[in-house]
Structure 1
Amino acid sequence: MTRRSMLQAGAATAAGAYMGVGASLAHANKTFPSRAIKLVVAFPAGGPTDLTMRQLADNAAKVLGQPIVVENRPGAAGSLPAGQLQNTAADGYTIAQLPMSVMRLPFTTGLKWNPVEDLSYIINVTGYAFCMVASTQSGLKSWQDVVAWAKANPGKLTLGNTGTYTSPHVTSAIIAQQLGLDVVHVPYKGSSELMRATMAGEVMVAADTSAVIPYVDQGRMVALNVWTEKRLPTLPNIPTLIELGLPTTQYSPFGLVGPKGMPADVQTALHNAFKQAMEMESYQAMLQRFEMLPIYMNSADYKKFAAESSVKEKAVLAKLGPQA
């Protein structure tokens, strides 16, 4: 099944099921929700994460019958929303987006809470594809140009990312280590800030999500590589890291969590509403805009994936060492 047919199939499923699911949720949860819900997003307003999450929230609000208000809390490798939940009532009225980068933080910072055990996992909704691009001002036209320039100018190649210990940062550091490159990693608070900096020539190369593709299409950036197992359909001429001789892939699912101890019926109500919201055509179209695919996991599978990711990240960071 092609990527477009997957999106269209999801939208078609939603059209017939919307009213039935909404009615069953209202019947099963007579008291929840009785007021607005706050969804805290880990990246700045205007970027791909923010825009897709706002569409998802709008859709889920229609199912739940109450507004869902989005609040942006960027920075700290995406950990601020989930950190906020550590001091929030577990009543379902405050939930958060959880980037997988948070699974690294127990091993890189003095995080006082456990991302696996100290959250209620609601649903995983989507994930990022990643790539590297060069500023048109840099004069770099290909990944081979980047490697050659970095080797000829050690310590001078500036490589932007969406925040310290995010997937773009850690994977970029792994790539640099594999190639023996001395580069300067420059963190930004999110994709929109990184894109502005790259186009302004503040950094020569940027590692980001596939949200950069419109800038490439417009001729404002040059695509260098993609981090998926296979080439992206929208960048068919751009090689994967594997094709470039680097045994590295990276993708980063993310979803929604609540405070630890959330009542099971509230967690189920939120899960069912957001699952229905995922299937609506408006959300599918927003994902397609940013080359993001729906990646559904139920509550149990999502928590299991988070636990497995935590173990993997610990091993990767140990291998990477202080170069990150």
Structure 2
Amino acid sequence: MPPITRRRTIALAAASLAPALASPALAPSAFAQGRFPDRPIRLVIPWPAGGSADAQLRSMGEIASRALGQPVVLENKPGAGGTLGPMTVAQQSRPDGYTLTQMHLSVLRRPWMMKAPLWDPVRDFTHIIGLTGWLFGTAVKADSRFATWQEMIAYARANPGKLTYSTSGIGTSNHLAMETLLEMEKVEITHVPFRGSNEGVTAALAGQVDMVSDSSAWAPFVEAGSMRALSVWTAERAARFPTVPTLKELGYDMEVTSPYGVSGPKGMDEGVVQVLHDAFKAALFDPENERIRGQFDMPLVYRNTEDYRDFVARRVDYEKMMVKRLNLTLDG
């Protein structure tokens, strides 16, 4: 693979995570103390309010509250690339089931981007349930020279380094996926990272980058006719874009949805985990939550507790490999 200028050292506000992970004393079984839950449950969202994950989890929490008999209260705690919230839960919360967090791929990836990992994604959490992910894809301006993904790849092969693509940041799932695709094709396209997918879409519409490779912030512009989607990265074609091929249809054995779930501190009682899993699963499949996921093009990626823990362990191995391959490092 040709040298990649985007393999640059990344700045991260990791200072806030510097204290070594604490090991909260294990609480007695919630069932030994009475019915679980007997007070509100706090679900920490590591992003600002108003995004797709916030909306999906807020809906799920409201629905799950009915079965649990207690409110599920969302707390937005953004920072440190989406890892501050989960780390706060791991470091400062008792494993009694009353403090949970969204678990996403950056939490699995970022320890291996540090010289000295501050947490272990497998050992330092109790993983409960896998939920959903995002619709990712590649889109260009409507007047782009490229009508298809294949035309774009052919041009990139004939013109190394002349094309650019945007993502929502170095080391994100979509960045790693694009690097994998380019490596498969043995082509060089310059990566231009932004702080979020909306900024990348704006840059593509302004002609500052040739295409955007990110979550579906581009979708409304494709529907409006100002952008053209070249690929989607889900297992099946997106219902909103039935003519746009998947990566598998384009010849790549890949599916990229950046799936996330819900986890708690390490050492949680397995009976409590079962109660939470069952309530969240019922909420996930509730028609109202399905409506919210459809609104944001979020594919269903349900995994039960055992399968989700297995997924996390296997995904950590993959993230370690990709971080090493792309030489992704963090300062601080």
Normalising by structure 1, report the TM-score.
0.77
Q: Which moved more, 1:187-196 or 1:84-93?
A: 187-196
Answer 1 or 2: which has greater helix percent: 1
Q: Would you say 1:275 and 2:315 are equivalent positions?
A: no
Identity of aligned residues (%): 35
Distance 1:152 1:70, change over 3 A: farther
Partner residue of 2:98?
A: 93
Partner residue of 1:48?
A: 52
CA distance in 1, matches of 2:246, 2:327: 26
Is the contact made by 2:198 and 2:217 (CA closer than 8 Å) also made in structure 1?
A: no
CA distance in 1, matches of 2:253, 2:133: 21
Q: Would you say 1:68 and 2:77 are equivalent positions?
A: no
Distance 1:294 1:255, change over 3 A: same
- 1:323 shift after superposition: 8.4
CA distance in 2, matches of 1:63, 1:194: 40
Q: Would you say 1:305 and 2:304 are equivalent positions?
A: no
Q: Would you say 1:290 and 2:296 are equivalent positions?
A: yes
Q: Would you say 1:240 and 2:246 are equivalent positions?
A: yes
Partner of 1:237, secondary structure, is coil
CA distance in 2, matches of 1:141, 1:106: 39
Partner residue of 2:234?
A: 228
Partner residue of 1:5?
A: none
CA distance in 2, matches of 1:289, 1:195: 19
Report the AA paired with residue 98 of structure 1: M
Please list the CA deviations of residues 212-248 of structure 1 after superposition, one character each: whole Å capped at 9, or x if unmatched. 4333111232101122344334322222334434443
Partner residue of 2:269?
A: 263
Please list the CA deviations of residues 85-113 of structure 1 after superposition, one character each: whole Å capped at 9, or x if unmatched. 23221233332111134323343334311
CA distance in 2, matches of 1:31, 1:241: 44
CA distance in 2, matches of 1:317, 1:32: 39
CA distance in 2, matches of 1:62, 1:193: 38
Partner residue of 1:114?
A: 120
- 1:57 shift after superposition: 2.1
Distance 1:274 1:173, change over 3 A: same
CA distance in 1, matches of 2:328, 2:159: 18
Is the contact made by 1:48 and 1:211 (CA closer than 8 Å) also made in structure 2?
A: no
Distance 1:103 1:247, change over 3 A: same
Distance 1:31 1:323, change over 3 A: closer
Is the contact made by 1:40 and 1:97 (CA closer than 8 Å) also made in structure 2?
A: yes
Distance 1:59 1:192, change over 3 A: farther
CA distance in 2, matches of 1:190, 1:246: 26
Partner of 1:250, secondary structure, is coil
CA distance in 2, matches of 1:108, 1:321: 10
Q: Would you say 1:143 and 2:152 are equivalent positions?
A: no
Partner residue of 2:17?
A: none
- 1:257 shift after superposition: 0.7
After superposition, the CA RMSD in angstroms is: 3.1
Distance 1:230 1:59, change over 3 A: closer
Is the contact made by 1:135 and 1:221 (CA closer than 8 Å) also made in structure 2?
A: yes
Q: Would you say 1:103 and 2:93 are equivalent positions?
A: no
- 1:172 shift after superposition: 0.7
CA distance in 2, matches of 1:59, 1:194: 34
Q: Which runs of 5+ in 1 are unaligned?
A: 1-25
Partner of 1:128, secondary structure, is coil
- 1:170 shift after superposition: 0.1
Is the contact made by 2:141 and 2:227 (CA closer than 8 Å) also made in structure 1?
A: yes
Partner of 2:56, secondary structure, is helix
Match of residue 133, structure 2, among 127, 133, 141: 127
Is the contact made by 1:128 and 1:210 (CA closer than 8 Å) also made in structure 2?
A: yes
Report the AA paired with residue 45 of structure 2: V
CA distance in 2, matches of 1:191, 1:57: 26
Please list the CA deviations of residues 98-150 of structure 1 after superposition, one character each: whole Å capped at 9, or x if unmatched. 11343233433343111011101121111234211124475544324433554
CA distance in 2, matches of 1:157, 1:187: 14
Residues 192-207 of structure 1: matches in 2 within 5 Å?
A: 192-207=198-213
- 1:44 shift after superposition: 4.1
Partner of 2:44, secondary structure, is strand
Q: How many equivalent residue pairs?
A: 296
Distance 1:280 1:231, change over 3 A: closer
Is the contact made by 1:42 and 1:75 (CA closer than 8 Å) also made in structure 2?
A: no
Is the contact made by 1:159 and 1:204 (CA closer than 8 Å) also made in structure 2?
A: yes
Q: Would you say 1:252 and 2:252 are equivalent positions?
A: no
Report the AA paired with residue 108 of structure 1: M
Partner of 1:251, secondary structure, is coil
CA distance in 1, matches of 2:279, 2:253: 39
Is the contact made by 1:43 and 1:189 (CA closer than 8 Å) also made in structure 2?
A: no
Normalising by structure 2, report the TM-score.
0.76
Distance 1:31 1:214, change over 3 A: same
Q: Would you say 1:178 and 2:184 are equivalent positions?
A: yes
